[in-house]
Amino acid sequence: IVLELLREAMISKLGNTKGFLIDGYPQELKEAEEFENKIGEPKFVLCLDCSAETMSSRLLVRNQSSQHSDSAETIKDGIESYYQASKAMTEYYERKTQLSKVN
């Protein structure tokens, strides 16, 4: 569903843009492969590389300023799951030389 929504939004703006910035998608290799099959190969992939400690502290601050109530352990587990899910996708784009990491 997400991929189809992205595709429709991109097609509707094709005449008005030089490119697209898609935040947070794909996060897994399977999603990257589906994106390439249904939409096309990206020319550039930007990865914001951030330590688990930095992500955790930012999420804990977010909890204080919103209605999120994730515990430190829940946040730690979520970050670990994210790293595991995105590792293969990141390596895939590194091999294709389309990935640029920013610390």
CA distance linking residue 28 with residue 73, whole number of Å: 23
DSSP 7-76: HHHHHHTGGG-S----SS---SHHHHHHHHHHT---S-EEEE---HHHHHHHHHHHHHTSS----HHHHH
**Residue 37 near residue 48 (C-beta atoms within 8 A):** no
pLDDT bucket at 85, cuts 50 / 70 / 90: confident
Average pLDDT over residues 83-87: 86
Q: What is the pLDDT of residues 7-48, one digit of tens each?
A: 999 989 888 788 888 888 888 899 999 999 999 899 889 988
Residue 96 pLDDT > 90: no
User: How high is the pLDDT of residue 93?
Assistant: 92
| pLDDT confidence of residue 5 | 92
Domain definitions of the chain by residue range: 1-41, 42-102
pTM confidence score: 0.73
Say which residue, 52 or 64, is predicted with more confidence: 52
